[in-house]
């Protein structure tokens, strides 16, 4: 019942954490291991549970230490950073995962009706075609080991480059903004619409731009915001 008091955007995530707790309890465990130390069940906190869940992930779902260091050093709003962290863990509450756990009846993306998995959310949703195109046209291509990286591949296949380049960080803001729009569509707060998605992306950048220190050139951020505004007309 208390789950209903949580905003719909985050309800699935909290439910996922609660299920983890119940599985631990039902298996007879009275504590979870946090950074090598046991924490009694009565002292569990949500942040600790999230860390325990991360440590319980299979190795292939983790990133190398350099990626986590780059994410930790990134100066972006905490909600954006939390989203990126979940995406890098491959633990976003996408509908394919929720359908597997019988939490959702459909595994489809509410935006384009394709199967919504991790790859879809970071690369294949049709609404991402526009930000990929804009970054492609406005910025030079990123190179990794002398290979030129296509913007649509960066966040999914080159996480370190995505966190250490202007192009990559801007793409993360676009993917995060689409997640927010997707949640609004899924819970009936908005109709799917490119202009509304562009407005959400502009809002994410505007909020970040109010920080005293940011990790990108403010002139580049302003230029991108102007390009987004042009798409909203």
Every domain of the chain and the residues it spans: 1-56, 63-232
Q: Mean pLDDT over all residues of the chain?
A: 83
Query: Which pLDDT score is estimated for 160?
Result: 95
Query: Which pLDDT score is estimated for 216?
Result: 80
Bridge partners for 149 per DSSP: 142
**Across residues 97-115, what is the average pLDDT?**
89
**Across residues 130-149, what is the average pLDDT?**
93
Residue 189 pLDDT > 80: yes
Residue 2 pLDDT > 60: no
Q: Mean pLDDT: which of 9-18, 88-97, 109-118 is highest?
A: 109-118
pLDDT in tens, 39-87: 565 565 666 666 665 555 544 446 788 999 999 999 999 899 999 999 9
* Token digits of residue 216: 């990108």
Percent of the chain with pLDDT over 70: 73
Cα–Cα nearest to 12, from 168, 167, 182, 141: 182
Query: Which pLDDT score is estimated for 154?
Result: 95
Query: Which pLDDT score is estimated for 90?
Result: 87
φ/ψ (deg, to 5) at 108? -90, 150
Residue 17 pLDDT > 50: yes
Residue 15 pLDDT > 70: no
C-alpha 183/C-alpha 205 separation (Å) is: 19
59 vs 3, higher pLDDT: 3
C-alpha 199/C-alpha 177 separation (Å) is: 9
20 vs 149, higher pLDDT: 149
200 CB contacts (<8 Å, ≥6 apart)?
A: 177, 178, 180, 181
> What is the enclosing helix (H) or strand (E) of 194?
helix 194-209
Query: Which pLDDT score is estimated for 46?
Result: 62
């Amino acid at each position: 019942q208390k789950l209903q008091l949580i905003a719909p955007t985050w309800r699935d995530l909290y439910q996922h954490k609660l299920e983890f707790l119940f599985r631990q309890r039902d298996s007879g465990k009275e504590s979870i291991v946090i950074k090598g130390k046991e924490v009694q069940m009565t002292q569990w906190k949500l942040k600790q549970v999230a860390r325990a869940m991360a440590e319980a992930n299979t190795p292939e779902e983790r990133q190398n230490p350099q990626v986590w260091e780059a994410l930790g050093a990134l100066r972006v709003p905490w909600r954006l950073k939390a989203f990126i962290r979940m995406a890098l863990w491959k633990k976003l509450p996408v509908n394919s995962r929720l359908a597997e756990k019988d939490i959702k009846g459909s595994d489809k993306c509410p935006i384009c009706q394709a199967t919504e998995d991790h790859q879809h959310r970071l690369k294949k949703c049709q609404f991402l075609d526009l930000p990929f195109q804009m970054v492609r046209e406005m910025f030079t291509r990123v190179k990794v080991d002398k290979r030129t990286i296509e913007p649509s591949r960066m966040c999914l296949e080159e996480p370190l480059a995505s966190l250490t380049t202007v192009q990559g960080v801007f793409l993360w803001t676009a993917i995060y903004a689409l997640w927010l729009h997707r949640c609004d569509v899924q819970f009936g707060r908005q109709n799917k619409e490119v202009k509304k998605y562009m407005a959400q992306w502009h809002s994410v950048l505007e909020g970040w731009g109010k920080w005293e220190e940011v990790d990108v050139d403010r002139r580049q951020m302003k230029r991108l915001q102007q390009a987004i505004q042009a798409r909203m007309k």
